[in-house]
Amino acid sequence: MPDYDVTVIGAGNAGLSAAAYLARKGIRTLLLEKHNIPGGCATSFCRGRFEFEVALHQLSGMGTTERPGPLRGILDGLGVLDQLEFVQMEDLYRVVLPGEIDVTLPADKNEMVKILQKQFPSEKEGIREYIDFVYKFFTEVIGAFYMNDPAISREKYPMYFKYALTNTQTVMDMFIKDPRLQMALSMYWTYMGLPPRLLSFSDMAALLFSYLEFKPFHIKGGSQALSSALLNQFQSHGGKSLFNTRVEKILMQKDAVAGVVTESGEEITSRYVISNASAISTYVNMLGKDNTPDVLKKQMKGSTIGPSFFTIYAGFDAEPEELGINSETSFLCASSDIERDFQQAKLRDVDNSSMIMSCYDVADPEFSPPGTSQAAIVTLKYAEPWLRVDPHRYAEEKYRCADILLKRAEKTYPGITSHIEEMEIATPVTHMRYLGHPGGGAYGFDQHVKDSNLFVSPKPPVKGLYCCGAWYDSGGFQPTLTSGASSARAILKEMRSGEVA
Ligand X SMILES: Cc1cc2nc3c(=O)[nH]c(=O)nc-3n(C[C@H](O)[C@H](O)[C@H](O)COP(=O)(O)OP(=O)(O)OC[C@H]3O[C@@H](n4cnc5c(N)ncnc54)[C@H](O)[C@@H]3O)c2cc1C
Count of residues making up the chain: 501
What end-to-end distance do the CA atoms of the chain give, in Å?
Answer: 19
Find the shortest distance in angstroms from Cβ 55 to ligand X.
4
428 in contact with ligand X (CB under 6 A)? no
**What's at 341, amino acid-wise?**
D
Q: Say whether residue 386 binds ligand X (CB under 6 A).
A: no
Q: Which stretch binds ligand X (CB under 6 A): 164-172, 406-414, 435-443, 459-467?
A: 435-443
Burial of 155 (C-beta count, 10 Å sphere; 0-12/13-18/19+): exposed
41 is a site residue for ligand X (CB under 6 A)? yes
* Options 80-88, 250-258, 388-396, 475-483: segment touching ligand X (CB under 6 A): 475-483
354 binds ligand X (CB under 6 A): no
* 35 touching ligand X, by CB under 6 A: yes
Closest approach, Cβ 441 to ligand X, in A, equals 8
Cα separation, 354 vs 333, whole angstroms: 4
102-161: contacts with ligand X (CB under 6 A): none
CB nearer ligand X, residue 60 or residue 182: 60
Q: Does 277 bind ligand X (CB under 6 A)?
A: yes
The CA–CA distances, whole Å, from 263 to 29, 241, 425 equal 19, 15, 29
Given the rule CB under 6 A, which of 40-48, 294-302, 366-374, 453-461 is the region that contacts ligand X? 40-48
The only residue of 4, 7, 8, 14 in contact with ligand X, by rule CB under 6 A: 14
Contact criterion met (CB below 8 Å) for 476 and 191: yes
- Does position 442 interact with ligand X (CB under 6 A)? The reply is yes
**Among 6, 8, 9, 199, which residue interacts with ligand X (rule: CB under 6 A)?**
9
Q: Is 380:446 a contact under the CB 8 Å cutoff?
A: no
- Residues in contact with ligand X, total (CB under 6 A)? 40
210 makes contact with ligand X (CB under 6 A):
no
215 binds ligand X (CB under 6 A): no
CA dihedral sign, ordered 473, 478, 482, 484: positive
Find all residues with CB under 8 Å of 12, minimum gap 6, and list them: 39, 40, 41, 42, 276, 435, 469, 470, 480
Cα(356)–Cα(379) distance, rounded to whole angstroms? 6
Q: Are 39 and 47 in contact (CB under 8 A)?
A: no
Q: Evaluate the CA torsion angle 12, 467, 30, 486 in order and state its sign.
A: positive
Rounded Cα gap, residues 218 and 120, in angstroms: 30
Q: How far is the CB of 11 from ligand X (least distance, A)?
A: 5
Q: Which of the stretches 110-118, 129-137, 417-425, 470-478 binds ligand X when contact is defined by CB under 6 A?
A: 470-478
Question: Judged by CB under 6 A, which stretch of 50-58, 93-101, 288-296, 333-341 contacts ligand X?
Answer: 50-58
The residue (of 19 and 116) whose beta carbon lies closer to ligand X is 19
Chain positions contacting ligand X, by CB under 6 A = 9-15, 32-35, 40-42, 55-58, 60, 246-247, 276-277, 281, 309, 311, 378, 431, 435-437, 442-443, 469-470, 475-478, 480
